[in-house]
């Protein structure tokens, strides 16, 4: 399913939109921080010309953006990996619980049937 298709529940579409907006705001904040750090860095070198400051700032922001993208991809990949691991573990635990429940119900039925048979058995005939 794609975001916004007729099959998507409204809550999923809204959640996708909120995630997209949040991602945009985080990216914007990261870029602003990179620009601020680049200015602070070049301000410590008063001998640089304006063109040199701009060039160093551009390189800094570009490298910082690449590093941020790499870190975000690593985090996303790890999140997907953890989700897969947890979903697999959940399915396994759910199957075990179901099997245990079936065994307990069967044992209870057999025990009840045994008691019923024992109490229904004619004594002294």
Whole-angstrom distance, CA of residue 22 vs CA of residue 18? 6
Whole-angstrom distance, CA of residue 30 vs CA of residue 42? 18
Could you state, in order of their start, the residue ranges of all structural domains in the chain? Answer: 10-88
pLDDT at 7: 60
Contact 7, 1 (CB under 8 A): yes
Mean pLDDT, the chain, whole residue set? 88
Determine whether 73 is exposed, middle or buried from the number of CB atoms within 10 Å of its CB (0-12, 13-18, 19+): exposed
Whole-angstrom distance, CA of residue 20 vs CA of residue 14? 10
Percent pLDDT > 70 in the chain is 91
Model pTM above 0.75: no
pLDDT of 45 over the 60 cut: yes
End-to-end Cα, the chain, rounded Å: 72
Each residue's pLDDT tens digit, 58-86? 999 999 999 999 998 999 999 999 999 99
């Amino acid at each position: 399913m794609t975001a916004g298709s007729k099959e998507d529940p409204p809550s999923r579409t809204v959640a996708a939109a909120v995630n997209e907006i949040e991602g945009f705001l985080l990216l914007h904040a990261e870029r602003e921080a990179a620009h601020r750090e680049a200015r602070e860095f070049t301000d410590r070198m008063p001998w640089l010309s304006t063109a040199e400051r701009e060039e160093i700032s551009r390189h800094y922001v570009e490298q910082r953006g690449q590093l941020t993208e790499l870190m975000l991809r690593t985090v996303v990949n790890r999140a997907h990996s953890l989700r897969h691991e947890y979903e697999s573990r959940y399915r396994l635990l759910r199957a075990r619980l179901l099997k245990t429940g079936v065994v307990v119900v069967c044992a209870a039925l057999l025990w009840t049937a045994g008691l019923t048979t024992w109490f229904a058995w004619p004594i002294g005939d």
